[in-house]
Copies of this chain bind each other. A is one copy, B any other.
């Protein structure tokens, strides 16, 4: 379960509460979970029972009390071990491809419309991502090496979207040329 890895990783940057983690989850695009309460709070309780994190309730000057989690020695060791685990290939779930794959019973103009809609989705997503990445750019306290890695990761996400859009567009062209009208 790499949700655990993500939590340990975020805590290795700085101690924070479940609520903070939740925000981090939804702020980092390539974290593939919604960052819902249930999973985060329950995982934190489990990690605490396993001794990978410590928690301390603090009362900020204003606002409600927070339960701040920190990595323990054991948690740090576990994080390192998980970071060194064998890399897995990405899993892609693209239900649009399935729509396309069985679209033989649709007229060509409808398939073209689907591809068009798909491109629109990609464009909208790119705008959101670009904005998110721009905000994260000036993240303070990162080493040069870490900055390089994060930049390359975010670049790659945008590049993937571009490639997907180009692919859809070229498929549209081919369909139009050969099967339209």
Using a CB–CB cutoff of 8 Å, the interface residues on chain A facing chain B are 2, 5-6, 8-10, 12, 28, 30-32, 76, 79-80, 82-106, 108, 110-111, 114, 117-118, 121-122, 125, 142-146, 148-150, 152-153, 156, 159-160, 163-164, 167, 171, 174-175, 178-179
Q: Of the candidates B8, B90, B108, which one forms a contact with A164 in the assembled complex, judged by CB atoms under 8 Å apart? A: B90
Are A106 and B80 in touch, CB under 8 angstroms? yes
Q: Of the candidates B30, B103, B121, B145, which one forms a contact with A101 in the assembled complex, judged by CB atoms under 8 Å apart? A: B30
Q: With A92-B90, A92-B92, A163-B159 in contact, do A5 and B174 touch (Cβ < 8 Å)?
A: no
Q: Of the candidates B32, B146, B171, which one forms a contact with A93 in the assembled complex, judged by CB atoms under 8 Å apart? A: B32
Q: How far is the CA of A32 from the CA of B138 in the complex (A)?
A: 36
CB A139 to nearest CB in B, in angstroms, measures 12
Are B86 and A102 in touch, CB under 8 angstroms? no
Are B148 and A156 in touch, CB under 8 angstroms? no
Are B87 and A118 in touch, CB under 8 angstroms? yes
Q: Of the candidates B86, B93, B94, B100, which one forms a contact with A149 in the assembled complex, judged by CB atoms under 8 Å apart? A: B100
Q: How far is the CA of A129 from the CA of B89 in the complex (A)?
A: 13
CB A3 to nearest CB in B, in angstroms, measures 9
Chain B positions within 8 Å of A148 at CB level: 171, 174-175, 178
What are 25 A-B contacts with C-beta separation under 8 Å? A2-B98, A6-B98, A10-B102, A12-B104, A32-B94, A80-B106, A82-B99, A83-B99, A83-B102, A83-B103, A83-B114, A84-B110, A85-B99, A86-B117, A87-B121, A89-B118, A89-B125, A90-B92, A90-B94, A91-B92, A93-B93, A97-B153, A100-B149, A104-B145, A163-B163
